[in-house]
Amino acid sequence: MMRITFPKTQDQSEKRIAFFPSQARKYTDLGFDIHIEKNYGQTLYIADAEFEAAGVHVDENRRNLLLDSDLTLVLRTPSPDDAALLKKNSILVGFLDPFSNKELILRLAQQGVSAISMEMIPRITRAQNMDVLSSQASLAGYAAVILAAKALPKIFPMQMTAAGTISPARVLIIGAGVAGLQAIATAKRLGARVEAFDTRPEVAQQIQSLGAKALAIDLGNTTAAANGYAKELSAEQIERQRQAMIKFCSMADVVITTAQVFGKKAPHIITQEMIKSMKPGSVIVDMAVDSGGNVEGSLRNERTSINGVTIIGASDLSSQVAVDASLMYSSNIFNFINEFWDKNSKKFDFNLSDNIIKECLITHQGQVTNEKIRQTFDQG
């Protein structure tokens, strides 16, 4: 019987998990022997006894858990020490950030580990129920607005009272991908006046459908890339965008930036000049801080202030709503395994001609198999 293991995430700020007791039957029906590390669900107040009641083995020794694992499911990139314990021909599945972890990826290849990076799942119809980036980004967009609302020294909705009328807060969302659209919807539900900008003109209709105003800046050709992400802008386009953004930012009470370019550093969009144009007391939430940041001067998981403007480098936003984020992630990851698990041979089907496997399989049989990752490593 193939052993599937769920080790605890070592990052103390991470509250999400990849497996719930209610999902045990799904895995055992596929023929897996399920093992978790002791106190695996403690961040969500799930006792080991609940897992054991579902037929899950609870292991106290993390080292042995990893050494004996055939299929290891994680949230975050494993540490070098943990990765070194994974045996030849075992499978590792999770957020591996392969573009930024060359040493780890090469080590996994050398060890003969088949590494699957869930953020590399292509955004195609067939893979929608496996798309961890979309499921987590949607929740992060919601959390970003709540974070901004708490930091802003005024309320979002308009109120008409005997003492006078309170104008609605003005919220500017930069980037209308999954996270940005959820941020728009959340800010609207809270009663804010919402404007949004995206370099892809084709998303203007989606912005408007949520009740926000789509801002237009003529940047030339900026259609989406094949994977659905925005294309990287030229230096001239970035400068045009920045000049237009000074006006938009100066009118906003809240600015939330979500702009990212897949596999590359996030573009710097909000400059010191723009920040200085904003009203004291305004708030900026930089959702792209983990990939380099959209905001000049933003720091990961820190709040800074420039001329009275609060800048929040918001990392791990989905972890702030960890119950729902875990439910969605665990569902995504099971759907992926179920899709490629051969129920007859009880083996994982590494069909390299399959579009999904081709994109998300990073290492296999001692090689870095993903072409994009190989090219990045060769260039760097």
Residues with a known catalytic role: 123, 128, 131, 134, 229
Residue 341 DSSP SS3: strand
d(CA 37, CA 61): 7
The tokens of 207 are what?
A: 């912005």
Residues 6+ apart with CB under 8 A from 65: 5, 7, 35, 37, 59
Q: Which amino acid is at 245?
A: M
Of how many residues is the chain composed?
380
Place of tokens 């920040």: 275
Q: Are 41 and 17 in contact (CB under 8 A)?
A: yes
Q: Are 322 and 13 in contact (CB under 8 A)?
A: no
d(CA 55, CA 75): 22
d(CA 140, CA 348): 31
Phi, psi torsion values for 180, nearest 5 degrees: -65, -40
d(CA 146, CA 31): 42
